[in-house]
Structure formats: C-alpha cells, structure tokens
Chains A and B, each alone.
Chain A
C-alpha cells in the first residue's frame, strides 16, 4: 500500500504557488490533508453547527458547478472491479442480488415519494426473489413455530407495541368524542321536535274538548251518560287503561313518582312503614288516598328481594 506521495505533493505545491482563493481547489486540499491523518485545523475557531448542514437527507451543500479537477480514472476503476468481483458464473444464491429499474426520477426532498419509491423497489424485488427461491425448492419462509433470536429484543418490541396501541387509542377516543358531540346535537334536535309535537297534540286535544262542549251546548245537552262517546278522539282509544309500565318497587298509587322510595330502601326494612311524618301521611291518604289494585306483583317483582335484608329469617341458628 504505497501511498503515492509524489502526486499529492505536486498538487499541494501547485496550490500554494497559485495563492488563488479558489474555493474548489481548497476543497480538494482539505480532503487530501485529512487522508494523511493530519488533524484538519480549522481556519475558523468558532465552529458552530449549522442546522442546515446536518439536517435531514443530505443537508450539506452541493457545488453547483462540478470541479474540473475531479479525478475520474475509468480504466482504473474497471480494472479494480475486475480484480475484486466474484466470477461470473457464481450461483445467484450466493449473491442474492436483484436489480430494479426505477422508472421516474424522485425528488430528494419529497419524503413521502422517496420512501415510497424505496418501498416499491424492495417489494417488487422481493417478489421476484421469492419466485426464484420457490423454484429452487429450498425452504425460505419462516414457519410460525420457529422461535429464534430476533434482531430487536422483546423488551424493545413491547415498547413499540405500547406506542402503537397508545396512538390507536388516542385516535379512537377522538373519534368517539366527535361522534358523541354529533349525537348530542342530533338528540337535542330530536328532543326539540318531540316537544313541539307534544305541545301541538295537547293543543289539539284541548281544542277538541272545547268543540265537543260547544256541540253539546248547541244540541242542548241531550242525556247524562248515554251519548257519551261523542267522537272524542283520543289517541288510540285506550284512555282508561293504565299504562303497561309497571315499576317494581313503586306503589301504583304513589303520587311522588317513585322518588320517595329510592332513598328509603336503604334503611332498615320496615322503616318506611313506620314513618310518621306529614309527607308520609299525605302520600297515603292525601287527595283521596290510594286507589285500588293492592295486588300488583309481576313475575319479576315476586322474586325481587331487594327490599329484604339478607340475614332476615325467622329461625336463625347460629353455628358455634
């Protein structure tokens, strides 16, 4: 490995002789100095890092005009290539190289397209390679039960997985929030609509009662109860039927809307029976008292043991 000092020395002398501050020549000079293991002494003491210089994808500056002195020894290169390369008829399986022709030029600064072009290059070449490997009848795909050491540790892959999951969750949450907001808006609109309709119905009903009264007045009050079905058109004709909504735990005659019992069930059993307050008396006897229908259990409510305490039984035998 004889370093050809002679040639380099001549170039250096030529540079010194010229004393031309040609930037291009300086470049080659710097590089040659660095080859000789001389610490490249900065001409400037303050060497701050420019963000542009060490930035993404080759931030360093490129000369717009190529240097004329740049060496290109084509014959030498091909000679060395011949020396170094493997013989021609080596099996593909040793080299495993694939060539891919890239049709269109990719702009370096366009990250997405650049990565996409690398990806398509790799993908198409892999497909070709797999076809070749398949034709050679050698196993090339990893079986699912083949466990071996991987290039990245399990711990690291856990971190990766965690990050991916967190991202997915964040996206989902944002989606849900958006949907909830929209639903709320919609439900508000629907509710407003319903209220309007109810108000309208109420008005209609009152109107129809008034009309009926007028009719009766006009036709002079015919009888008491005989002509009673006068075309009062209520909604579905089920006026005097109670609604099917049976609320377990609430007396049918309950005038408090079932709210009185909610807190009371948490106390002792039978505590609400013993209540003596004014409100309680009112709920029992006020405004005509409780209407009939003392028996109102459904299949579900018969077995509903919510209001009974667990330990309540007549014959408690304590095991000692």
Chain B
C-alpha cells in the first residue's frame, strides 16, 4: 500500500513542473498584440460597415453579423472605399468587414486587417438571414463561438491565410468585457467547390452540471441551425488593406457583370440572321400562295 501511494505522488508532481515551464516561455514572448504584460492578449476589434444603396437582405445580413460578433463596431454607410482606412484607425479597430453592394444585387465582402495587413475581396452568394423562420435555433448574445474549419484550409497558401484571417476576425477575444461565459454555438467554415460556406449552429445537449458532461450527453448532442448562412467566393487577395499588390487572383472567377453581358449578347445575337432569312422566305411563300386581289381603286388617282 505504501508503495502505491509513493508512485501516485511522483506522477502528479511532473505535470506541475511542465506547466510552470510553459508559463515562463509565454512570459518571455512578445508579439504585436501584447500591449501590457507578457501574456498574450487578443485585442481584436472589427469595424463593420456597408456601402450606400445596399439591399434589405444584405443589410439584414450585416446586422446579423454585428449581433454575432461582440467585438465589432458598427459604422454608418460610407460612400467611397478610399476613406475606409482612416475610418478604421479613427475607431481604433484592427480589422474591417466591409459590405459593398453593386447594382443593388451583387454583394462583395471585403475582409481586411487594417493597418498593414492583407485584405481579401469576396463575392457573397446564397444569403439566408437569421430572420428566416426555418432557422429555428437561438443562442446567447455575445458568447464566444467555437470555430471549425475543414482540413482543406491547410492545403494551400491562400486558404491558410484566409483561415488565419477568419479566425482572428470571427473569433471573439477571450477576456473581452462583453462576452458571456458559456459556449453554446459553433461556426462551421468549409470549402466546397472552391467556395467558403458559413454555417452557425446552436449546440443543444442535456447536461446537469456546468463543467462536466457525460458520455450519454455527448452522444445525444444535437445542433440546431441559427443562421445566417452565406457562401463566399474569394476574388482577390491584396497585400495591403483595401488595395495593394495582388497576391492571389481566383482563376475561375467571372464577375456577375460579365455573366449578364455575355448572356444578353448571346441572346441578342443568337440566330438573328438566320431568323431574318427564315422570316423573308416565309413571307414570300405566303404571298405566292395567297395572291392579293386586284385593287379596283388602284388607278383612281393615276391620271392626276
């Protein structure tokens, strides 16, 4: 019995030492985001704005995102993109989500890390807002989300950069003053067909205590979709914020304008000449088969 006890004691001592070592290492590290103290502090703040003449659906999407990100600041509509960098600095934010709408139907989303960082321009499709009655879930406001990424995000350089940016922008800082303590929703980002699909689910599982969950509870856990839903297609990645050197261009991207123009042109030009010729022939056949009667009044004014 005595021997057993000693064995147990030695085992518990070792992990404590390891913890101490890790803490010391962290204290030694200094990085861009530490402002005070050696511990890592996430001081991320996101500015969310949109352009003028934005559609109601996209405006609701923006408002939904504002409610999902407790570390964001909502700003009034901006007319031009040029003033955005200054605006972000003015509001002391470190990133920006800018919803740009063109022609009242296309929505482009700019995701930028503001002072120096890279920025990405996406086109947004397949938007469903939280107000849709089919999305029945609900979760705490300002609670920290869990983020899941599919492993395809690690396969290429631009996906890795996007993953990092998404983690920083959509992930709520740990000790932010407005966050609520529990984890009850999860954001799922997956890559299908070279698009990023976003889903937000509420976690519902039966539990009795706040910090322990049993096997059964884990197995019976279900997810209910809260919304919103959207799909992002990356167009370009720039080295600077809202501009700069192009680092990545999507080779498969066709702008919606082009789609419209191309399809309209095709429609107009398709078979135009052939149709004309056919119409002429038809008219001739018609005239031959049913000759017009002679007009008896045709030459009344002839002599005059």
Contacts and interface: CB of A to CB of B under 8 A. Distances in A.
Contacts of B250: 70
Contact of A126 (B173, B203, B245): B203
A94 B174 contact: yes
A294 interface: no
A121 B42 contact: no
A59 B124 CA distance: 11
A95 B167 contact: yes
B256 A1 contact: no
Given A121-B148, A160-B133, A126 B138 contact: no
Nearest to A93: B174
B35 interface: no
Given A1-B243, A125-B186, A81 B256 contact: no
22 contacts: A4-B245, A54-B125, A59-B125, A63-B251, A73-B246, A76-B239, A77-B118, A81-B164, A85-B164, A86-B31, A95-B171, A99-B148, A101-B150, A119-B199, A121-B190, A123-B222, A130-B218, A141-B211, A142-B182, A156-B131, A159-B133, A164-B136
B263 A96 contact: no
Given A84-B117, A126-B203, A137 B190 contact: no
Contact of B168 (A53, A59, A84): A84
A57 B128 CA distance: 11
Contacts of B235: 31
Interface in A210-239: none
A193 interface: no
B29 interface: yes
Counting from the closest, the 4 A-B pairs by CB-CB distance are A66-B251, A70-B251, A125-B148, A139-B210
Given A23-B262, A73-B248, A148-B141, A102 B182 contact: no
Interface in B24-54: 25-26, 29, 31, 33, 40, 42
A49 interface: yes
B140 A3 contact: no
Given A81-B161, A122-B186, A157-B138, 13 more contacts: A34-B102, A44-B261, A50-B260, A53-B263, A58-B195, A63-B253, A84-B165, A85-B164, A123-B222, A126-B148, A139-B182, A140-B183, A151-B138
Contacts of A28: 249
Contacts of B239: 76, 80
B116 interface: yes
Interface in A40-81: 40, 42-44, 46-50, 53-54, 56-63, 66-67, 69-74, 76-78, 80-81
Nearest to A146: B182
A53 B233 CA distance: 14
B139 to A, nearest CB: 6
Nearest to A114: B192
Interface of B: 22, 25-26, 29, 31, 33, 40, 42, 67-68, 80-82, 85, 102-103, 105-106, 113, 116-118, 123, 125-126, 130-131, 133, 136, 138-142, 144-154, 157-158, 160-161, 164-165, 167-168, 171, 173-174, 180-184, 186, 188, 190, 192-193, 195, 197, 199, 201, 203, 205, 207, 209-213, 218, 221-223, 226, 231, 233, 235-237, 239-265
Contact of A77 (B144, B181, B212, B237): B237
Contacts of A244: none
B47 to A, nearest CB: 16
A122 B201 contact: yes
B264 to A, nearest CB: 6
Given A3-B244, A84-B164, A151-B67, A98 B149 contact: yes
B125 A60 contact: yes
Interface of A: 1-4, 7, 23, 26-28, 30-31, 34-35, 37, 40, 42-44, 46-50, 53-54, 56-63, 66-67, 69-74, 76-78, 80-81, 83-87, 89-91, 93-102, 106, 108, 114, 117-119, 121-123, 125-127, 129-131, 133-134, 137-143, 146, 148-152, 156-157, 159-160, 163-164
Contact of A133 (B85, B183, B254): B183
A61 B259 contact: yes
A39 B116 CA distance: 26
Contacts of A96: 144-147, 171, 183
A100 B152 CA distance: 9
A315 to B, nearest CB: 67
B161 A77 contact: yes
B207 A119 contact: no
